[in-house]
């Protein structure tokens, strides 16, 4: 007697199979405060797929968590990531709400984050940076009755990339009128072109949600900012990137040494992911405000870096990914009641006093504007104190304040190191497991 699939009834089998697949793909997340005295341990186990490491790191950085150490390892179709994280003050995570949100967010990264409609209109701008450019952009938007709700602006190697979220000043709704959108795009493109950027200035409009900082990386990468020579000479803080091939094992080994800062790991992983490289193994350590990152990578098709030209391109792109977010200049924080033309007026004051904006973050909440600006003089050097004081007087000393950059708390006293030794034993064990696996694969004979 022969039975076909249609002859057999499988009550609930498809549903159970779907549940099984979902359980297999859903990351297993462990958040532990008992393992280490100085940091919260976050462990993520999941089926491996391209981009999932970036999504995990993105969850951590979006919560402004500092990643002190990390171990990345994969075996076949599975991967395991272990992160040592603290808050901005260098403390372990104790807020149950934050811990719960972190756990839930990491447990759903296998679903991805599909683009959805937004109640804002997103403007994407790239072009040649110059003193006063941001002032001109915000002036055009104010003139066209566009209310800037959020914005991020990066500059690097003489280029600028900006993602600006706007709504109509009168209706408070996203701008959908095609004629008005064409006018906005045309006017902004003319501003970006200036006198010498006719070929490379770009503007576009989007009605979908995207991760702002990942999109800025993509915009600057597409603009090939990594190829252009920087205006300033490299300093001792410039990132050092090396790439070598382990031919017999089919891996390329990427090493990065640079000054540690917030979101460093996100920037590096974001660039490698968008360049279609997969991280199979990696270690990240920090010490005395320095970061040391090592990755074993392949293309998504399983091959290592294949040429000297490609190796140099990877080095350039990773250096650029680190430098884009590097804070150049004095950090100014503007906190005041939001009003029409606020950004246009503030950035015009910067321009009239010889200040250039190298990076900006704009946000509004409940009619309060909180804006961060990093400014230098017109030549990219440190702004004179008298310049800053003059600008503050014109904008409002109580509204515009000079803020120090938040330091990542990493240096421990001798007593703290001793107290952490027992708690850190488990992490050391995890690191030993990873390194033993790499040794067994023959990956760390020359890269211990």
How do residues 28-81 score in pLDDT, each as one tens digit?
999 999 999 999 999 999 888 889 999 999 999 999 999 999 999 987 788 899
Residue 183, pLDDT > 50, answer yes
Per the structure block, which two tokens stand in for 48? Answer: 């491996």
Most confident of 6-10, 23-27, 95-99: 95-99
Region 364-390: what's the mean pLDDT? Answer: 92
Per cent of the chain over pLDDT 90 is 65
Per the structure block, which two tokens stand in for 176? Answer: 């959908």
Per cent of the chain over pLDDT 70 is 79
Region 331-336: what's the mean pLDDT? Answer: 96
Region 371-400: what's the mean pLDDT? Answer: 93
pLDDT at 377: 92
pLDDT at 199: 59
Mean pLDDT of the residues in the chain: 84
Region 184-211: what's the mean pLDDT? Answer: 82
CB atoms under 10 Å from CB of 10, counted, come to: 10
Per the structure block, which two tokens stand in for 372? Answer: 């961060």
Residue 208, pLDDT > 80, answer no
pLDDT at 361: 96
Q: Which of 156-170, 190-204, 300-314, 374-388 has the lowest mean pLDDT?
A: 190-204
pLDDT at 406: 54
Supply the pTM of this predicted model.
Answer: 0.84
pLDDT band at 276 (very low <50, low <70, confident <90, very high): very high
- Higher pLDDT, residue 234 or 175: 175
pLDDT at 368: 93
Residue 413, pLDDT > 50, answer no
pLDDT at 417: 43
Entry field: residues in the chain: 448
Strands 78-86 and 66-75: antiparallel
pLDDT band at 332 (very low <50, low <70, confident <90, very high): very high
Q: Which of 183-187, 301-305, 326-330 has the lowest mean pLDDT?
A: 326-330
Residue 243, pLDDT > 90, answer yes
- Higher pLDDT, residue 288 or 300: 300
pLDDT at 60: 97
For residue 128, list its beta bridge partners: 159
pLDDT at 78: 86
Topology, domain 117-229+326-402: Alpha-Beta Plaits (3.30.70)
Q: Which of 69-73, 193-197, 401-405 has the lowest mean pLDDT?
A: 193-197
Q: What residues contact 241, with CB distance under 8 A and at least 6 apart?
A: 254, 255, 256, 314, 315, 318, 319
Per the structure block, which two tokens stand in for 426? Answer: 């488990």
What is the tens place of the pLDDT at every residue in 84-143? 999 999 999 999 999 999 999 999 886 555 444 467 899 999 999 999 999 999 999 999
């Amino acid at each position: 007697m022969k039975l076909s699939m249609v002859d057999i009834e499988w009550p609930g089998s498809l549903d159970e199979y779907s549940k099984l697949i979902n359980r297999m793909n859903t990351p297993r997340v462990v958040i532990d405060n008992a393992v280490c005295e100085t940091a919260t341990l976050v462990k993520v186990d999941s089926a491996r797929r391209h981009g999932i490491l970036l999504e995990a790191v993105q969850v951590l950085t979006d919560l402004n968590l500092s990643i002190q150490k990390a171990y990345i390892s994969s075996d076949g179709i599975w991967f395991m990531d272990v992160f040592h994280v603290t808050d901005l003050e260098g403390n372990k995570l104790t807020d149950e709400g934050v811990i719960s949100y972190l756990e839930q967010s990491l447990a759903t990264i296998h679903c991805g984050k599909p683009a959805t409609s937004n109640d804002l209109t997103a403007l994407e701008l790239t072009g040649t940076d110059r003193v006063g450019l941001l002032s001109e952009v915000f002036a055009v938007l104010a003139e066209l009755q566009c209310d800037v709700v959020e914005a991020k602006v990066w500059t690097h190697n003489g280029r600028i990339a900006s993602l600006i979220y706007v709504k109509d000043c009168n209706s408070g709704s996203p701008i959908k009128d095609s004629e008005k959108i064409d006018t906005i795009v045309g006017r902004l493109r003319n501003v970006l072109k200036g006198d010498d950027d006719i070929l490379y200035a770009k503007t576009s409009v989007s009605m979908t949600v995207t991760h702002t900082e990942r999109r800025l990386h993509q915009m600057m990468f597409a603009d090939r900012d990594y190829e252009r020579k920087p205006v300033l000479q490299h300093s001792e803080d410039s990132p050092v990137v090396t790439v070598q091939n382990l031919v017999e094992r089919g891996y390329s080994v990427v090493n990065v040494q640079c000054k540690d800062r917030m979101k460093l790991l996100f920037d590096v992983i974001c660039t490698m992911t968008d360049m279609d490289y997969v991280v199979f193994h990696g270690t990240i350590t920090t010490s005395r405000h320095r970061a040391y990152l090592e990755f074993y990578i392949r293309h998504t098709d399983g091959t290592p870096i294949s040429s000297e030209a490609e190796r140099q391109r990877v080095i350039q792109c990773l250096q650029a990914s680190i430098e884009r977010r590097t804070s150049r200049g004095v950090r100014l924080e503007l906190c005041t009641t939001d009003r029409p033309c606020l950004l246009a007026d503030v950035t015009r004051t910067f321009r009239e006093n010889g200040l250039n904006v190298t990076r900006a973050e704009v946000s509004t909440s409940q009619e309060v504007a909180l804006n961060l600006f990093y400014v230098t003089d017109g030549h990219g050097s440190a702004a004179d104190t008298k310049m800053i004081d003059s600008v503050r007087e014109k904008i409002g000393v109580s509204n515009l304040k000079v803020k120090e950059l938040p330091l990542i708390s990493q240096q421990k006293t001798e007593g703290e190191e001793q107290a952490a030794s027992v708690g850190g034993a488990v992490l050391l064990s995890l690191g030993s497991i990873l390194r033993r696996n790499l040794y067994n694969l023959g990956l760390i004979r020359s890269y211990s």
